[in-house]
């Protein structure tokens, strides 16, 4: 009886305890903080969702996510989310805590080169309970604890000793980061009552409609984030950060695409080109009908009336710095007087309002700063007349030594007056001090490279333009035909550009994340003025077949590239393995035909001496044609190696001299039509001495000298017609 009595008392106490707990939870009052309030003002990007469960479900169940997680950059994030998923499935307490909860995640800089994330989850009234020590005990995690700014911070080791996440609870928010430094910044801001809020952010947030996934960009920090990955972008983004404030957008995570729509505001107290653009009427977007299909980046500024836009720009300039404005006007008046011209008549009479800048996929002879600038004319005949007048007056005042080049019924001119166009268009023409220009369709196209203009003319004549590229044409059709500003990126070609001009460390990082970068075939951004905002639209188009397309294109353009790295790094060298028919004397190396499995084919033949390759070895394509004739001496390439194209004529692709596996002496490459492509001299694996590059028609393209693998001395560039284009002076790789 005593046992029954105590048992009933225990049941009553437990029942009362459970009831009291639920009454406590119902009556408990908690200050309601928004997740985004835990994000520090230094956040670069913030992603917010009102429902963590549905938001993550939309992302992880898309085919796009399955493709993205193949990239090294997202491996760790995917592993962590999968681990969290499994914990949620296995544990009812975690599901109660996190299911359908609001969440915000921010990206913040740790230093000048590294970044980390901070998250905040609204766990409601559970924030008033000691849930973190209980959860750590439940999962047998090691948990450390210390105070910061009157707030407890827990350090939880969830896997290996180095796998530590730092957590804290503030009212209804669970806040965490892998960086204790960033977590402390968030706590400090929350305790001060400031958080991520400021007038500009609130204005952008309120203008935007809320969705399942919201994204915010803080332009004051963007240059730090992007500059840490791609330093060349930093100067441009610094200028942008002084003008632009925030973007607030709703993200639509589609099956293969990411669509962002919302609004961007700017600092209207700062006079700028952005303010002038915000007042301008949107103009037609047409430059894609002109630029080559190999364009990596196209940026356009479009106004319905250029004269009105330019007048507003002058007002902004005057308001920004009246002294500099006066100097600017004086410089224009001085130039007008010196040339005896009225620029209103010579320039503004034909400017239509579309200015488009293009960076092309790099070619073997391209320079990093090579670019195209297309300015649309409202009357191309008038533009030709006025530009001819300008050239005529410049010729009277300067010792011009450049006659126009005739190329495929187009005339290429040189504007031999330093800084002339920069005077009017500033940074847009910063790399075109004395630009070449030509008339193509209804545009006057400028470039700092005459060869770039020639290539563009070639592509335009055969219709190899962006507008005639089906995938790009379909992509751009999803944007407005009229806009104030637009930028379109073909990521595979941008990847090639970055890789071509990057150092070894940057190339390694690019290669590791190639899948993530290159499979976003097209990325577009468009801004249209709307009151004190720019209506913003961003679309990232994903295509799993991009790699295949690029490989095919690479094959088609391979004749324009040198194969020197393949030879210098001995990628062709035969390394005997377990499949090799080891024997002394003559050896034939046969393999199964890759397509006709019933047949065998010989791919290598030569002599072995003391188990080492010796004498002349021949390699063959699967077609049976000769691929290479390579001399070996005791297993090392030694002598003149000859490489062939896969054709009936056995045309030579390259002749390369080696000494004990090291490229030395003469190096010659050829086009498939047997004409010489390059003739250089190497020493100890590096180019050293005279260098000559040729066009496919046999005409000299570039001549110069290398010293220890670097350009050194005078370099000259020629047109396909054989005329001298430019001279450069180099010293140890620096121009």
CB neighbour class for 130 (10 Å; exposed up to 12, middle 13-18, buried from 19): exposed
Residues 6+ apart with CB under 8 A from 460: 290, 292, 440, 441
Is the pTM for the entire model greater than 0.75? no
Percent pLDDT > 90 in the chain is 22
Q: What is the pLDDT of residues 633-676, one digit of tens each?
A: 999 999 999 999 998 888 999 999 999 999 999 999 999 889 99
Mean pLDDT to the nearest integer, 241-270: 83
> Which one is the CATH code of 560-730: 1.10.490, 1.10.860, 3.30.70, 3.90.930?
3.90.930
Mean pLDDT within 268-272: 65
Which residues neighbour 74 within 8 Å (Cβ) at sequence distance 6 or greater?
A: 68, 516
Domain ranges of the chain: 306-483, 560-730
For 223, residues 6+ apart whose C-beta sits below 8 A from its C-beta are: 233, 234, 237, 238, 240, 241
Torsional class of 124: left (φ above 0), alpha (ψ -120 to 50), beta (otherwise): left
Mean pLDDT of the chain: 79
pLDDT at 501: 52
End-to-end CA distance of the chain: 101
Kindly write down the DSSP assignment for every residue of 427-459, as one continuous string. GGGTT-SS-EEEEETTEEEEES-HHHHHHHHHH
287-294 mean pLDDT: 91
Indicate whether 15 pLDDT > 50: no
pLDDT of 250 > 60? The answer is yes
Q: What is the pLDDT of residue 726?
A: 72
- Give the model confidence (pLDDT) of 330-341 as tens digits: 888 888 888 888
| Structural contact between residues 435 and 447, judged by C-beta atoms closer than 8 angstroms | yes
Question: Residue 159 carries which DSSP code?
Answer: S
In tens, the pLDDT along 349-386 reads 999 989 998 887 655 444 556 789 999 999 999 999 99
Tell me whether strands 482-483 and 283-284 are parallel, antiparallel or unpaired: antiparallel
User: How many CA atoms does the CB half-sphere of 190 hold within 13 Å?
Assistant: 28
pLDDT confidence of residue 364: 46
pLDDT of res. 75 = 53
CB distance 415 to 434 below 8 Å: yes
Residue 27, judged by CB atoms within 10 A of its CB (0-12, 13-18, 19+), counts as exposed
Q: List residues bridging with 181 in a β-sheet.
A: none
Mean pLDDT of the 175-194 span:
87
Nearest to 349 by CA among 361, 341, 360, 338: 341
State the Cα–Cα distance between residues 4 and 558, nearest whole angstrom: 90
Note the pLDDT tens digit of each residue in 468-492. Answer: 888 888 899 999 999 999 989 887 7
Tens of pLDDT, residues 129-149: 667 777 777 667 778 888 998
CA pseudo-torsion sign 128, 133, 139, 144:
positive
Structure tokens at 63: 């085919």
Report yes or no: 538 and 260 within 8 Å, Cβ to Cβ. Answer: yes
Helix or strand or coil: residue 587? Answer: strand
Q: How far apart are CA 451 and CA 700, in angstroms?
A: 13
Q: Indicate the range of 6-10, 494-498, 546-550 predicted with least confidence.
A: 6-10
Can you tell me the distance from the alpha carbon of 36 to that of 128, in angstroms, rounded to the nearest whole number? 19
CA torsion angle for 684, 686, 690, 694 (degrees, to 10)? Answer: 130
Helices (H) and strands (E) in the chain, counts: 23, 36
Task: Give yes or no for residue 27 having a pLDDT over 70.
Answer: no
Looking at residue 8, its pLDDT comes to 38
Residue 685 has pLDDT above 70, yes or no: yes
- Picking from 342-351, 584-593, 623-632, which range would have the lowest pLDDT averaged per residue? 584-593
For residues 125 and 693, the model is more confident at 693
């Amino acid at each position: 009886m005593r046992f029954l009595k105590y048992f009933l008392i225990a049941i009553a106490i437990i029942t009362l305890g459970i009831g009291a707990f639920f009454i406590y939870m119902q009556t408990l009052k908690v200050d309601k903080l928004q997740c985004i309030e835990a994000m520090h003002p230094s956040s670069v990007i913030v992603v917010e969702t009102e429902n963590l469960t549905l938001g993550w479900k939309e992302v992880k169940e898309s085919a796009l996510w399955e493709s993205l997680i193949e990239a090294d950059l997202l491996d760790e994030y995917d592993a962590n989310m999968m681990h969290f998923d499994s914990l949620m499935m296995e544990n009812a307490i975690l599901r109660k805590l996190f299911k359908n909860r609001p969440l915000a995640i921010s990206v913040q800089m740790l230093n000048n080169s590294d970044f980390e994330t901070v998250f905040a989850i609204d766990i409601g009234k559970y924030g008033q309970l000691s849930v973190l020590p209980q959860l750590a005990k439940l999962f047998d995690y090691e948990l450390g604890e210390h105070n910061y700014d009157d707030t407890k911070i827990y350090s939880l080791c969830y896997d290996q000793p180095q796998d530590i996440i730092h957590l804290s609870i503030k009212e209804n928010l669970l806040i965490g980061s892998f960086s204790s430094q960033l977590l402390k910044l968030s706590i400090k801001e929350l305790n001060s009552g400031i958080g991520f809020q400021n007038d500009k952010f609130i204005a952008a947030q309120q203008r935007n409609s809320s969705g399942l996934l919201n994204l915010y960009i803080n332009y004051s920090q963007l240059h730090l984030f992007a500059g840490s990955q791609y330093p060349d972008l930093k100067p441009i983004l610094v200028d942008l950060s002084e003008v632009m404030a925030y973007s607030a957008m709703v993200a639509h995570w589609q099956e293969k695409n990411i669509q962002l729509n919302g609004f961007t505001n700017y600092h209207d107290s700062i006079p700028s080109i952005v303010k002038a653009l915000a007042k301008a009427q949107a103009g037609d977007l047409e430059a894609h009908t002109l630029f080559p299909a190999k364009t990596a980046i196209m940026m356009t500024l479009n106004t319905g009336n250029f004269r009105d836009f330019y007048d507003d720009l002058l007002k902004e300039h005057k308001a920004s710095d009246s002294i500099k404005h006066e100097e600017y006007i004086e410089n224009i008046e001085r130039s007008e007087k010196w040339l005896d011209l009225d620029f209103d008549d010579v320039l503004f009479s034909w400017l239509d309002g579309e200015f488009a800048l293009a960076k092309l996929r790099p070619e073997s002879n391209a320079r990093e700063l090579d670019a195209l600038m297309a300015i649309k004319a409202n009357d191309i005949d008038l533009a030709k007349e006025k530009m001819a007048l300008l050239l005529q007056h410049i010729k009277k005042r300067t010792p011009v030594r450049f006659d126009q080049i005739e190329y495929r019924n187009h005339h290429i001119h040189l504007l031999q007056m330093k800084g002339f166009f920069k005077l009017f268009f500033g940074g847009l023409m910063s790399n075109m001090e004395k630009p070449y220009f030509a008339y193509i369709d209804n545009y006057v196209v400028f470039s700092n490279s005459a060869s770039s203009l020639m290539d563009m003319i070639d592509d335009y004549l055969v219709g190899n333009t962006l507008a005639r590229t089906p995938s790009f044409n379909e992509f751009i059709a999803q944007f407005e035909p009229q806009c104030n500003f637009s930028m379109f990126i073909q990521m595979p070609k941008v990847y090639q550009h970055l890789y071509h001009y990057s150092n070894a460390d940057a190339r390694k990082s690019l290669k590791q994340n190639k899948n993530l970068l290159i499979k976003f075939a097209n990325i577009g951004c468009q801004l249209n003025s709307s009151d004190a905002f720019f209506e913003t639209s961003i679309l990232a188009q994903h295509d799993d077949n991009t790699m295949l397309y690029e490989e095919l294109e690479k094959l088609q353009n391979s004749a324009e590239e040198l194969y020197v790295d393949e030879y210098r790094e001995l990628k062709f060298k035969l390394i005997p393995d377990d499949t090799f028919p080891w024997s002394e004397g003559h050896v034939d190396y046969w393999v199964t035909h890759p397509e006709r499995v019933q047949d065998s084919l010989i791919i290598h033949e030569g002599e072995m001496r003391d188990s080492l390759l010796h004498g002349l070895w021949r390699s063959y394509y699967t077609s049976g044609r000769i691929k290479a004739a390579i001399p070996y001496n005791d297993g090392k390439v030694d002598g003149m190696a000859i490489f062939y194209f896969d054709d009936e004529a056995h045309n030579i692709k390259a002749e390369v001299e080696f000494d004990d596996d090291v490229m030395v002496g003469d190096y010659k490459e050829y086009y498939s039509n047997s004409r010489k492509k390059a003739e250089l001299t190497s020493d100890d694996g590096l180019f050293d001495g005279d260098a000559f590059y040729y066009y496919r028609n046999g005409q000299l393209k570039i001549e110069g000298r290398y010293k220890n693998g670097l350009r050194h001395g005078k370099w000259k560039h020629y047109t396909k017609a054989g005329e001298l284009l430019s001279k450069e002076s180099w010293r140890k790789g620096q121009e």
